Structure 1
Amino acid sequence: MSALTPDEIAFVKSLVIHQDEHILALNKPSGLSSQGGRGQVHTLDELLAAFAKASGVKPRLIHRLDRDTSGVILTARTKPAASMLGKAMMGRRFRKTYLAIVTPGAPEPPQGRIEAFLRRDEEGREAFMRVCSPDHPDAEAARSLYRTLAKGASAALVELRPETGRMHQLRVHLASIGRPIAGDPRYGGALMLAGRPVPRLMLHAVSLEFPHPAGGRFRLTAPPPEDFLALAEAAGLGPLETFAASAVFIDGGMAGERR
């Protein structure tokens, strides 16, 4: 891996939501691969070298976001923190919340749970997830909660919480109920909305709750980027003004906001 340039270092440091001796959290932009991306000089995992210790050890990604999904992403700054958070993730002690702009309107009913088994399907070098029957040999159980926050004539703003962590789960689940995410051509999402092109996948990881290595539960919030806000407002779903960047203990731990 080539050394980071000053511009790359400044860029990744501008994404920081919170850092302490245990964790580092960032607001990942759309278009940046978490790791292993193709056709990019550096992935987020590689950019984390900007936060490396004198020993050369850099923060470790605890989870991933799809390349085109924006939002909060968590890393561990120490090996013990990485181990603890990894076990908490496997034990489903993380709570992930997303925002999505879907078309052609609000889901029916406006809130509920989607339970649809998924299987991986590869076409050439591309991987997809497909809804399948529970008895398919590759079937994986998948559950997602959704809630409509706002609706317009041709779109809706939906809050999502995956209860399982399958690849492309939210994208496939929403498409399965006829409300694909705007800007998601892979699963049937609209490429035009409110008379304007949809610039990218309109899916944003807005918050993450998890047990902090220092004790207590911690919540990180990452505000949606300008392209998401602008499209939501154009579609009659905004303005969205309630999602400011924050990092706070919500149960035990060190009280108060931490930045």
Structure 2
Amino acid sequence: MSFQPPVTLSDQDIAAVRSWIIHEDAHVIAFDKPSGLSSQGGRIQAHTLDDLLWAFARSNGKRPDLVHRLDRDTSGVILAGKTKPATAFLGKALQAKRFRKTYLALIESEPDPRGGEIDAHLLRQEVGRESHMRVVEEGTPGAQPSRTRYRTLSANDQGALIELEPMTGRMHQLRVHMAHIGRPLVGDARYGGALTFSGGAAPRLMLHASRLTFPHPEGETLTVEAPLPADFRALMDRAGLSL
């Protein structure tokens, strides 16, 4: 009897997830995740990226496993291990802070200073069925230390394009940190971001995981990049921002 995965995928599902591949070898597979797709779990009754990994299942029932997550509305690079040893290796490297993640984001006005590091403790709170993070004082029970580096790449009177590098991996960290310094991300309704940008609507959270550098199970260091999505590029162009 042939192996049947626990998730039924359509031909369109399989074609879609295969079209998102930006790197694949014997050990790892990297995707350019579109905005609006949950990495795992999620309350929306739709396939997640984790579900879609069944498209790569082998006859013995083994399939790739995600190594990390991105918020549903964040686009860009996300990594999976193709074998159990590879996934375990990458998971340990992630815990050891050997991953370097680089994001691009749009904000309404240039930060002051133009670059720097945000060091603020975060506390997770449940509000109804939603999880939120908020900045709290060091020593608050349950608070987690978190750090983000940022720098301005392009800015004018229409807005700014910034590069973000999380030094820790807390939920919603980049979004909360930028809101904390008075520069919430465009399209981020949860943390006070504007839903318009440069005179037009912002279609979603304007946060893109553009580059990921990580130790490869075979020994070298690998960097994978995801190009800017069309909606992100369109807002940049409308505001006259350049990369």
TM-score of the aligned structures, taking structure 1 as reference length: 0.90
SS in 1 for 2:237: helix
Residues 1:233 and 2:221 are matched in the alignment: no
Residues 1:82 and 2:97 are matched in the alignment: no
SS in 1 for 2:141: coil
- Measured after TM superposition, the shift of residue 2 of structure 1 is 3.8
* In structure 2, C-alpha distance between the alignment counterparts of 1:145 and 1:82, rounded to whole Å: 27
* In structure 1, C-alpha distance between the alignment counterparts of 2:23 and 2:183, rounded to whole Å: 34
- Measured after TM superposition, the shift of residue 40 of structure 1 is 3.2
* In structure 1, C-alpha distance between the alignment counterparts of 2:44 and 2:167, rounded to whole Å: 32
* In structure 1, C-alpha distance between the alignment counterparts of 2:210 and 2:161, rounded to whole Å: 13
- Measured after TM superposition, the shift of residue 143 of structure 1 is 0.2
CA displacement, residues 35-66 of structure 1 (integer Å, 9 cap, x when unaligned): 10222321000001111112121100000000
Contact 2:215 2:221 (8 Å CA) reproduced: yes
* In structure 2, C-alpha distance between the alignment counterparts of 1:154 and 1:173, rounded to whole Å: 22
Residues 1:201 and 2:205 are matched in the alignment: yes
Deviation >2 Å, runs of 4+: none
Q: 1:11 aligns with which of 10, 16, 33?
A: 16
Residues 1:22 and 2:22 are matched in the alignment: no
1:120 paired residue number: 124
SS in 2 for 1:207: strand
Residues 1:58 and 2:63 are matched in the alignment: yes
Q: How many residues align?
A: 238
Contact 2:7 2:51 (8 Å CA) reproduced: no
Structure 2 residue ranges without an equivalent (≥5)? 1-5
Q: Give 1:1-259 correspondences, 5 Å limit.
A: 1-103=6-108, 105-238=109-242, 240=243
Q: Which amino acid aligns with 1:161?
A: E
Tell me how large the CA RMSD over aligned residues is: 0.9
TM-score of the aligned structures, taking structure 2 as reference length: 0.96
Contact 2:67 2:90 (8 Å CA) reproduced: yes
- Measured after TM superposition, the shift of residue 161 of structure 1 is 0.3
Contact 2:7 2:54 (8 Å CA) reproduced: no
SS in 2 for 1:9: helix
SS in 2 for 1:129: strand
* In structure 2, C-alpha distance between the alignment counterparts of 1:40 and 1:195, rounded to whole Å: 34
Report percent identity of matched pairs.
57
* In structure 2, C-alpha distance between the alignment counterparts of 1:118 and 1:177, rounded to whole Å: 14
